[in-house]
């Protein structure tokens, strides 16, 4: 069934396969939102007189039955049906008769798929936000638990200065705040209603677009009908960019874990059942989870560029390649959720090696502390720097006996992690999401 097909006309099967592509595969994910959008639309049609109250109510009841079928996992798009919009309208018409043919008044598949995608993306953003908060809470918890566990700090992969696992976990927690800010930005862009823009130029019907905005719990309208269509691709790219920020954080964390698990580092370990082995090397405990997270997240980081190239140089109005954004973005969302879930599982079972910095091989981490100690005694910084540097070059350097006044430690140092302040920052960002929804 094709909503646009004229009587007696047919489409070449090869053309049909090519143009439909993978749409049905991803349209199943939109089915719930297509019905929800249709419920709002026919409710509004009944209120403005384009359907009678009885017809509108009959359509709503029929649509709600389809929604129950979707939620039970029994909804399918028939082989001869082009897309989810056609399936829902056809099924409704079969169930309630001629009234089902009235529900498309005042809309196009263009604004229908636009609202479906925005409703779907909004729900996925909120789900991602909850997952990120769960990972954030775990990182803060681990930061507090291991704040006294020393960790070598590196620059250029060379020994730099002493750090701690408390500081390491806390750094990734704070990184997630900026990532959540990006999610919030995409949420705000997605959470605007395009329904009623039709094919991109509005309608002569007396539609009430404010009413469907209210019914669908959007924060705002996409007011201009042309721009409502121009948001196709833009909304998806915004979320793709947000995913790329999250992916960058998880990829960096994963690389750290791969390094720290290495026997030459030996900083962290995981239970055997969370690692993999070798077919010939009995000693191996491979970080496959972190390697796959790193690989998947690196692929996700390329997504905004892929989306940009898809939409580059398109004029205003609808164009068919916009359907390809679904097969680019939807799997990436699922991969990101899976990666977050895996990182939570792994970090929940991490074991930290105590006393790492007591090993003499890490004594050069403390050269800055030695310089600072001399400065506090009144020696100019450059002279103190030269003195410690000469000791290192001559093999005479010894690690200082540190006596740090933690009450005077600056914010964000290993002695003053500021996890409470970091947690407050995250809470402030989270208030930007609508808690009612």
The percentage of the chain sitting over the pLDDT mark of 90, rounded to a whole number, equals 79
Q: Burial letters for 199-225: b for 16+ Cβ neighbours within 10 Å, e otherwise?
A: ebebbeeebbbebbbebbebeebbeeb
Mean pLDDT over each residue of the chain, to the nearest integer = 92
Nearest in space to 186 (alpha carbons), one of 226, 114, 129: 129
Least confident among 3-17, 62-76, 201-215, 417-431: 3-17
- Give tens-digit pLDDT for 113-146: 999 999 999 999 999 999 999 999 999 999 999 9
- Give tens-digit pLDDT for 170-199: 999 999 999 999 999 999 999 999 999 999
pLDDT at 5 over 80: no
CATH code: domain 118-147+159-196+223-357+419-430 is: 1.20.200.10
- For 108, the token pair is 């196009």
pLDDT of 425 reads 97
pLDDT at 359 over 90: yes
- For 87, the token pair is 């399936």
pLDDT of 313 reads 86
Query: Taking residues 412-419, what's their average pLDDT?
Result: 92
pLDDT at 2 over 60: no
Give me the residue spans of the domains in the chain: 13-105, 118-147+159-196+223-357+419-430, 359-403
- Give tens-digit pLDDT for 255-281: 999 999 999 999 999 999 998 887 888
How far is it, in rounded angstroms, from Cα 383 to Cα 398? 18
CATH class of 13-105: mainly alpha
Q: pTM for this one?
A: 0.92
């Amino acid at each position: 069934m094709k909503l646009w097909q004229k009587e007696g006309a047919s489409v070449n099967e090869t053309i049909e396969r090519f143009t439909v592509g993978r749409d049905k595969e991803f349209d199943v994910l939109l089915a719930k939102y297509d019905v929800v959008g249709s419920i709002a639309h026919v409710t509004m049609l009944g209120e403005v007189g384009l359907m009678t109250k009885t017809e509108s109510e009959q359509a709503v009841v029929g649509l709600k039955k389809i929604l129950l079928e979707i939620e039970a996992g029994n909804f399918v798009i028939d082989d001869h049906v082009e897309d989810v919009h056609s399936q829902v309208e056809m099924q409704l018409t079969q169930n309630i008769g001629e009234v089902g043919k009235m529900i498309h008044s005042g809309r196009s598949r263009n604004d229908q798929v636009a609202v479906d995608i925005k409703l779907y993306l909004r729900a996925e953003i909120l789900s991602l936000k909850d997952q990120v908060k769960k990972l954030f809470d775990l990182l803060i918890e681990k930061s507090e638990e291991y704040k006294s566990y020393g960790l070598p700090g590196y620059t250029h992969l060379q020994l730099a200065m002493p750090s701690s696992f408390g500081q390491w976990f806390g750094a990734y927690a704070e990184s997630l705040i900026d990532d959540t800010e990006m999610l919030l930005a995409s949420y705000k862009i997605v959470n605007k209603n395009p329904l009623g823009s039709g094919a991109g130029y509005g309608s002569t019907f007396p539609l009430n677009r404010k009413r469907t905005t209210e019914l669908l719990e959007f924060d705002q309208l996409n007011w201009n009908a042309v721009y409502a269509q121009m948001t196709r691709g833009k909304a998806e790219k915004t979320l793709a960019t947000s995913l790329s920020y999250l992916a960058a954080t998880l990829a960096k964390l994963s690389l750290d874990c791969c390094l720290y698990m290495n026997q030459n580092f030996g900083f962290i370990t995981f239970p055997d059942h969370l690692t993999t082995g070798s077919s010939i090397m009995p000693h191996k405990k491979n970080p496959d989870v972190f390697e796959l997270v790193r690989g998947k997240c690196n692929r996700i980081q390329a997504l905004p560029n892929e989306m940009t190239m898809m939409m580059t140089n398109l004029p205003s109005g609808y164009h068919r390649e916009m359907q390809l954004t679904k097969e680019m973005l939807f799997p990436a969302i699922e991969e990101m959720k899976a990666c977050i879930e895996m990182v939570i599982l792994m970090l929940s079972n991490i074991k930290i090696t105590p006393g790492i910095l007591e090993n003499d091989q890490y004594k050069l981490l403390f050269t800055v502390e030695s310089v600072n100690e001399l400065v506090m005694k009144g020696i100019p910084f450059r002279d103190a720097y030269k003195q410690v540097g000469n000791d290192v070059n001559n093999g005479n350097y010894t690690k200082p006996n540190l006596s740090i006044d933690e009450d005077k430690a600056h914010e964000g140092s290993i002695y003053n992690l500021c996890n409470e302040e970091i947690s407050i920052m995250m809470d402030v960002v989270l208030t930007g999401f609508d808690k009612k929804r």
